[in-house]
Structure 1
Amino acid sequence: MGANRPGPGRRNLITDVPGLKVGQAEDMAVRTGVTVILPDERAVCACDVRGGAPGTRETDALAPENLVDAVDAVVLSGGSVYGLAAADGVVSWLGARGRGFGLVDGIPKSPVVPAAILFDVANGGDKVWGETPPYRELGRRAIEAAGLDVMLGSAGAGCGAMAGGLKGGTGSASVVSEDGYTVGAIVAVNSWGSVVAPGGRTFWAAPFELDGEFGGLGAAGLVAGPDQWGSAKRPAETRNTTIACVATDAALTPAQAKRLAVMAQDGFARAIRPVHAPFDGDVVFALSTGARPLAEPSAYTLARLGALAADTLARAVARGVFEAKPWPGAYVPCWRDLSA
């Protein structure tokens, strides 16, 4: 390893990973939104599902033994099952531009766009959409807006989210390792569990914070006994799910990307308590843009990248809630409302 000090990338966003853009779109009347992670070129992708109530699309295609070895985009969406249609808008946009998986010349390519959804349809927004839910159009708008800047908080797939008893949101973070690998994460935080310790406003992710990125309160307030969770949702509020994508510029095989996704799930455990409940649908995608060879010994380097991905995802969770604000004309408790 080199002598550079590890730290956040220039933007402290997943788009610090070279070759990635992110686009987002919201419908504030519906209180929902979509986030699209768009690689410049087709990227290796894997997925790990830990929640007991997931909603996903195209995740079976990501298994290492299957034909598809790369994807064209990843979609995170609100809207529960309706939100899976956001990927339709993304697929159509990509296909119209000749992007996708193709086996035969002369026929349209098939864009590969895995997706995951969270449940935000009980947040009071206007859900009377009949046979025209907004998600296909939101997906198209999101990919059309893809760039390097990412709005955090009540934006994209986290627009309609609640994190325990607090307003949830979209968070992102990045880190550059000593030897120059970049790891990034983006997450829509709609957890049943709490992101803060009981009795205060200290994030569970506090030990992993870099440069005061979510308040700089330190970890002194991290105290909790058995069954003490902090600002978790009430038992009857079983409509949740936190969905995320981590990414790296390291060149990974599909099997290695799967291990990265598995290790990154620990970021949820570091930032949310409890997590992976029967009524959560927690999903983590892992992307590899392949810009940098994986240094030998490869297993050791992969382990380091997985640990960095977990820490970075934990930071992204806290940043999403730290930046969250109420919907226009509405009041919901936010992290900034908590007493010090």
Structure 2
Amino acid sequence: MTRGAQAQQQAGGPGQRNAITDVAGLTVGQAQDEQVRSGVTVILPDQRATAAVDVRGGGPGTRETDALAPWNLVRSVDAIVLSGGSVYGLAAADGVAAWLGAQGRGFALGHKSGVPVSPIVPTAILYDLDDGGNKNWGFNPPYRDLGLRAVRDTHSDVALGTVGAGYGATAGSLKGGIGTASYVTHDGITVGAIVACNSVGSVVMPETRRFWAAPFEIGREFGGLGLLPGHAAAEDWGDAKINPSPRANTTIACIATDADLDSDECKRVAIMAQDGLARAIRPAHSPFDGDTIFTLATARRPLPSGARALLTARIGALAGDVLARAIARAVYEARLPPGMGGRSWSMLRD
């Protein structure tokens, strides 16, 4: 067998759906309000999953991230929520927690009649309050109901683009959205990502429609255009937002794997996955972004004890690539909803 044939035999590739739900034990629910121009995305494991989080942006908005620290009591989750709506969007977790609690799903020190469990629902939000939607909600922001709608209707198929938490998102000066991707290794480990991209930075090279994430594209999952030859000027951010403002931007994501990672290993994967933002967005992790990445492990695939560090490194490296692909897919698939100004990627020309 030639070296090329051996490499091809050993290579992995995207899962069946090229989505985070290729990781066994996960479904995704999404809901949006077209008038408000915002929405919610829920990642739902079929049982409690080990999890961790890494926050790199300068303006994050989160809920229950401290609960995931390895020195604290709870290091697993019942669901992960990504939401629009800035601080109002954190209420999406209320709807998800209520649904989970009604199903008897959550953390409990003991089981006593009449004492409800405590669902653990870490959440991250992005800022879409100035996207032109009707935000005159008074005392009744819609996010609890959107969270409840999303968790009640989860599926293995994941819609991309202008949907869920990405409904009102913008990525640089382009329409942002929801993206997902996956990779299955030659030895059967699955790594997936889902992202709501609402970044300060641009996902495309200056004055082109070519994605910064192009070196990591598999097939034509975001157009197959490749990179243009040339040099990226140090201070040319291309289609980044011209006047970014604090707390007005964020890329929030969830990485998942079927490997039985512990909380420390999930944390390392989340740290390594942040490189996916740097591969796909320029600039990333700015003072104006709230970049937050969760990692969860469904533990369907046991890892051998003697090789855990190496396998964690492999999963983390793949997580960065998969997240970069998901970011590009989010913008590639996004379209302007009715009445929203601006540009989508499909409107660009080289």
Normalising to structure 1: TM-score of the pair?
0.98
- The answer to whether the aligner puts 1:105 opposite 2:111 as a matched pair is yes
1:57-76 deviation digits (Å, cap 9, x = unpaired): 00000001111121100000
Distance 1:52 1:309 in 2: 22
After superposing on structure 2, the runs of 4+ consecutive aligned residues of structure 1 that deviate more than 3 Å are 1-4
2:207 matched to which residue of 1? 199
2:64 matched to which residue of 1? 58
- The answer to whether the aligner puts 1:48 opposite 2:54 as a matched pair is yes
2:262 matched to which residue of 1? 253
- How much does 1:329 deviate? 3.1
2:333 matched to which residue of 1? 323
- Please give the secondary structure, in 2, of the residue aligned with 1:242: strand
1:184 to 183, 192, 203: 192
- How much does 1:31 deviate? 0.6
- Please give the secondary structure, in 2, of the residue aligned with 1:300: helix
Identity of aligned residues (%): 62
- Residue 184 of structure 2 contacts residue 190 of structure 2 at CA under 8 Å; is this kept in 1? yes
1:141 matched to which residue of 2? 149
Q: Kindly provide the amino acid, as one letter, of the partner of residue 210 in structure 2.
A: T
1:210 matched to which residue of 2? 218
Structure 1: runs of 5+ lacking an equivalent: none
1:267 matched to which residue of 2? 276
Distance 2:97 2:230 in 1: 44
- Residue 161 of structure 1 contacts residue 188 of structure 1 at CA under 8 Å; is this kept in 2? yes
- The answer to whether the aligner puts 1:92 opposite 2:102 as a matched pair is no
- The answer to whether the aligner puts 1:118 opposite 2:122 as a matched pair is no
Normalising to structure 2: TM-score of the pair?
0.95
Distance 1:65 1:221 in 2: 47
Distance 2:165 2:325 in 1: 17
- The answer to whether the aligner puts 1:301 opposite 2:311 as a matched pair is yes
2:3 matched to which residue of 1? none
- Residue 95 of structure 1 contacts residue 110 of structure 1 at CA under 8 Å; is this kept in 2? yes
- Residue 197 of structure 1 contacts residue 223 of structure 1 at CA under 8 Å; is this kept in 2? no
Distance 2:317 2:133 in 1: 38
Change (3 A) 1:255 1:236: closer
2:322 matched to which residue of 1? 312
- The answer to whether the aligner puts 1:243 opposite 2:262 as a matched pair is no
| Greater mean deviation of Cα atoms: 104-113 or 328-337 | 328-337
Distance 1:233 1:172 in 2: 23
- Please give the secondary structure, in 2, of the residue aligned with 1:297: helix
Distance 1:40 1:223 in 2: 46
1:287-330 deviation digits (Å, cap 9, x = unpaired): 00001112341111110000000000000000000000011233
Distance 1:267 1:227 in 2: 20
- Residue 181 of structure 2 contacts residue 325 of structure 2 at CA under 8 Å; is this kept in 1? yes
1:339 to 307, 325, 349: 349
Let me know the Cα RMSD of the aligned residues.
Answer: 1.3
Distance 1:180 1:24 in 2: 28
- Residue 200 of structure 1 contacts residue 221 of structure 1 at CA under 8 Å; is this kept in 2? no
1:162-218 deviation digits (Å, cap 9, x = unpaired): 000000000000000111100000000000000000020110000000011000001
Distance 1:188 1:236 in 2: 18
Distance 2:103 2:320 in 1: 34
- Please give the secondary structure, in 2, of the residue aligned with 1:268: helix
1:258-293 deviation digits (Å, cap 9, x = unpaired): 001000010000000001011100000000000111
Q: Number of residues paired by the alignment? A: 340
Distance 2:244 2:315 in 1: 38
- Please give the secondary structure, in 2, of the residue aligned with 1:44: strand
1:120-164 deviation digits (Å, cap 9, x = unpaired): 001110000000000000000000111101110000100010000
| Greater mean deviation of Cα atoms: 222-231 or 7-16 | 222-231
- Please give the secondary structure, in 1, of the residue aligned with 2:155: coil
- How much does 1:230 deviate? 1.1
Q: Kindly provide the amino acid, as one letter, of the partner of residue 334 in structure 1.
A: S
Distance 2:134 2:341 in 1: 16
Structure 2: runs of 5+ lacking an equivalent: 1-5
- Residue 132 of structure 2 contacts residue 340 of structure 2 at CA under 8 Å; is this kept in 1? no
- Please give the secondary structure, in 2, of the residue aligned with 1:175: strand
1:75 to 77, 81, 84: 81
1:280 matched to which residue of 2? 289
- How much does 1:236 deviate? 4.3
2:45 matched to which residue of 1? 39
- Residue 200 of structure 2 contacts residue 244 of structure 2 at CA under 8 Å; is this kept in 1? no
Distance 1:339 1:136 in 2: 40
Change (3 A) 1:19 1:328: same
